[in-house]
Amino acid sequence: MSTPLLSTSSTSATAVGTVHRLGSVDQVPVGEGRAFAVDGRQIAVFRLRSGAVHAVQARCPHKGGPLADGQIDGSIVLCPLHMNAYELATGCSTTGQPALAGYTVAVEDGELVLTVPG
């Protein structure tokens, strides 16, 4: 890789998993997604126009498309390769694909806070 994905550091752990602070929410432009490498996983974080944030696995289960490059609306992300659609909130596909792994993400003090289970 000529440019690594943004690396992150773990700051605290709770019962539900490891909490990661990914840095400023402004890394993700409104209405778009960006990919993060967290604990060896690749996670796409999306920032909706409503202000909500969602995090799902970064790789489309269909043919490995980069979901962070996909287009979103208030509820779904479309994989840019073959337009498979997934619900951001649940990870479920509306086009017959396996579901995505979903992660808990929130914005605290302008920072993205992601919880990785386990």
Partner 1 sequence: MTTLQERPDTDTEPLDTRRRLVVIGNGMAGARTVEEILERGEALQFRITMFGDEPYGNYNRIMLSHVLSGEETDADIFLNTLPWYEENQITLHAGVRVTRVDRFAKIVYGSDGSATDYDTLIFATGSYSFMPAIEGLRTDDGELLPGVFAFRTIDDTRRMVEYAQHDEHRRAVVIGGGLLGLEAARGLQTHGLVVDVVHAGAHLMNAQMGPQGGDILRQSVEKLGIEVHLKARTTAIIGEDRVRGVWLLDHPQLECDMVVVAAGIRPNVDVALTSGFTVERAIVVDDYMRTVDDPDVYAVGECVQHRGEVYGLVAPLWEQAVVLADQITGVDTSSAYLGSRTATKLKVAGVEVASMGVLGPEREGDEHIVFSEPTKGIYKSIVIRDDKLVGATVLGDTSKVAFLMQAFDRGLPLPDERVEMMFNLGSPTAEVGAAELADDAQVCNCNGVTKGHLVACVESGVKSVAGVMDKTRAGKGCGSCKTMVCQIVEWAAGGAVVEDPSANWYVPGVPMDKPALMVAIREQGLRSVSSVFAALAPEGAEDAKSKMGLASLLKMMWADQYIDEKDAKFINDRVHANIQKDGTFSVVPQMKGGVTTPDQLRRIADVAEKWNIPLVKLTGGQRIDLLGVRKEDLPKVWADLDMPSGYAYGKSFRTVKTCVGKDFCRFGVGDSTQLGIDIESRFQGIESPAKLKLAVSGCPRNCAESLVKDIGIVAIEGGRWEVYIGGAAGAHIRKGDLLATVDDPETAKTLTGRFMQYYRENAKWLERTYAFVPRVGLDFLKEVIVQDSLGIAADLDARIQEAVDAYSDPWKEGAAPATPGQFRSSLPLEVLPQVPVR
Number of residues that bind partner 1 (CB under 8 A): 44
Beta bridge partners of 117: 17
The CA distance from 54 to 102, in Å, is 8
89 residue type, one letter: A
Q: Which of 10, 16, 39, 83 binds partner 1 (CB under 8 A)?
A: 83
Q: Kindly write out the interface string for residues 2-21 of this chain, putting x where it contacts partner 1 by CB under 8 A and - elsewhere.
A: xx-xx---------------
Q: Are 113 and 106 in contact (CB under 8 A)?
A: yes
Please count the other Cβ atoms lying within 10 Å of the Cβ belonging to residue 115: 17
Q: Does 66 bind partner 1 (CB under 8 A)?
A: yes
Stretch that binds partner 1, among 13-21, 82-90, 106-114 (CB under 8 A): 82-90
The CA distance from 70 to 67, in Å, is 5
- Residues lying near partner 1 in the complex (CB under 8 A) are found at 1-3, 5-6, 26-35, 37, 42, 44, 49, 58-59, 63-74, 76-78, 80-85, 95-96
